[in-house]
Structure 1
Amino acid sequence: MARPRAFDTDLAVERAMSLFWTKGYHGTPLPLLTARLGIGSGSLYAAFGSKDGLYARALEHYCAGLVADVARRMGSGTDIRTALRTLLLALVTDDLADPERGCLLVNAATERAAHEGTVARVRAAMAAVEAVLTGALEHARERGELAPGRSPVELARFLVTFIQGLHVMGNARADRGFLENAVSGALRVLD
């Protein structure tokens, strides 16, 4: 009979996410991971299968939070320009607060581009963000807030790509004025 787990797996995933986010997958050796989580390697393997399994859970946790945040901001009830501006400027603020950390999604896509599971999770998260943005843009079109002929899907895909570019520019230490100007330019695609 297996012993019950002596640690909180959700808390372990949260802590691992923070560590992977700061140090990357390859910069997080197993001894550091187990020390920060306060568990032995046997417990890690029993709960998550491997370091890779824990990374996958941490990335899924991050992605779920990201999609929920975008959905919350886009469902705020304000007009589409205000909602998008608020979302994009919040991302700028977050990136400027900790430029070395950046976005875990961007970090995962670049560090583990050859890992099929990671790439699939990143693509799924981007597709989920795209779906949220597409829905918000479709509602905006119904309310007459979009220029005629503007495709909500094309706009959402542009915005998903732009968001990732914002994160990269934040990592590159672009200043707030530069990033706010880029946000203003991006919002003109709605015209």
Structure 2
Amino acid sequence: MARTKEFDPDAALRAALELFWRRGYEATSMADLVEHLGIGRASLYATFGNKHDLYLEALDRYGRTHQPQLVRDLSQPGPALPAVRAVVRRFAAEAADESRRTYGCFVTNTAAELAPHDPAAARRVEGSWEHLETLLHSALVRAQAQGELPAGRDPLALSRMLLVLLQGLRVVGKASSDPARVRDAAEQALRLLD
């Protein structure tokens, strides 16, 4: 008879995500994970594989929990440009929030720490960015079709600029002690949508 798991794998994955998000991949050891998750090393390996596999699962979970909000925000019916502006301002507010500074964005953190030398992590980062860019692009195309965005603007180029801005806000917000820096940058970028 197979033994039943003595822990909740989803709760363990959430805890692993929190630890990786706070510390990063390299600074988190298997011993740290065993202690933080409160499960045995053998159970951890049997359920999630090695540390790298667990990290990638945590990154996937992060995407599943954070992307639906962006889909709702940028795909709602009605005027599209206010939704784009609201998303940019929310990213800026989150980046400037002192209580969130140490975490930053898990995808952005992964891009900086692992993507340059880890193809599996790089694919997930790129997939996340492509998803966000597509959402922004679709919203800007709708805004243009509804007369909110001038006809001479390039929605694809604007969506790419906003993607880079949003990721940059996360990096600068994590490292800067001046919240006005990210808020001012966001507002200047939003003027390009006028």
TM normalised by structure 1 equals 0.92
Amino acid paired to 1:116? P
Q: Is the 8 A contact 1:130 1:156 kept in 2?
A: yes
SS of residue in 2 equivalent to 1:79:
coil
The within-5 A match list for 1:166-181 is: 166-181=169-184
1:134 alignment partner, one of 137, 140, 161: 137
Name 1:101's counterpart in structure 2: 103
Tell me whether 115-124 or 166-175 shows the greater mean CA deviation. 166-175
Distance 1:78 1:31 in 2: 50
Unpaired runs of 5+ in structure 2?
A: none
Q: Is structure 2 residue 66 aligned with structure 1 residue 66?
A: yes
Q: Is the 8 A contact 2:111 2:122 kept in 1?
A: yes
Distance 1:156 1:43 in 2: 43
1:158 alignment partner, one of 155, 158, 161: 161
Unpaired runs of 5+ in structure 1?
A: none
Deviation per CA, 1:116-147: give whole Å up to 9, x if none: 11111100011111111111112111211111
Distance 1:77 1:170 in 2: 31
TM normalised by structure 2 equals 0.91
Q: Is the 8 A contact 1:19 1:28 kept in 2?
A: yes
SS of residue in 1 equivalent to 2:103:
coil
Distance 2:2 2:136 in 1: 45
Q: Is the 8 A contact 1:81 1:187 kept in 2?
A: no
Deviation per CA, 1:54-80: give whole Å up to 9, x if none: 100100111222321211222344633
Name 2:19's counterpart in structure 1: 19
| Matched residue count | 191
From the superposition, tell whether residues 44 and 142 of structure 1 become closer, same or farther in structure 2 (CA, over 3 Å).
Answer: same
Q: RMSD of the TM alignment (CA)? A: 1.7
- Percent of residue pairs bearing the same amino acid type: 36
Name 1:144's counterpart in structure 2: 147
